[in-house]
Amino acid sequence: MGTVLQFPGPDSKAQVGFDRFELNRIVDLYGRMVAAGLWKDYAIEFRPDAASFWAFRRAAERPEYRIEKRPALRGRQGQWALIGEAGQVLKRGHELGPVLASIERRLLKLVGDL
């Protein structure tokens, strides 16, 4: 017969992921951006060194934003990064809220006198 192998494998590293609070916060922002008509699609990627949430304006484009969690940078620049469409780091921080705040500003609307 065949050989039984351990899953995910003896030499594989654990993947970085989002915890429930982080994912709820990111998906809540995604839902509000979809309701505003700014985003249409998303993707999530888990790797041994980072977890990424990709937000797309249209499904056939590059992502408008990439929200990335890299725990290896926790002690230095901060584990959270907001990366723009061209790959530039727009915001980096130790907490998720301030990193997402720059995207949430796009949802604010000025209400004038009636």
Domain that holds residue 51: 20-105
Mean pLDDT for the chain overall: 84
Domain assignment present for residue 28? The answer is: yes
Question: What pLDDT digit, counting tens, does each position of 31-61 carry?
Answer: 999 998 888 999 999 988 899 999 998 767 7
Residue partners of 114: CB distance under 8 A and separation at least 6:
none
The pLDDT of residue 11 is: 55
7, two tokens: 């899953």
Domain-embedded: residue 113:
no
Residues of the chain with pLDDT under 50: none
Overall domain count for the chain:
1
Contact assessment for residue 94 and residue 79, using Cβ atoms and an 8 Å cutoff: yes
In a domain, 35, yes or no: yes
Residue 101 in any domain: the answer is yes
pLDDT of residue 38: 87
* Residue 73 included in any domain: yes
Kindly state whether residue 14 falls inside one of the protein's structural domains: no
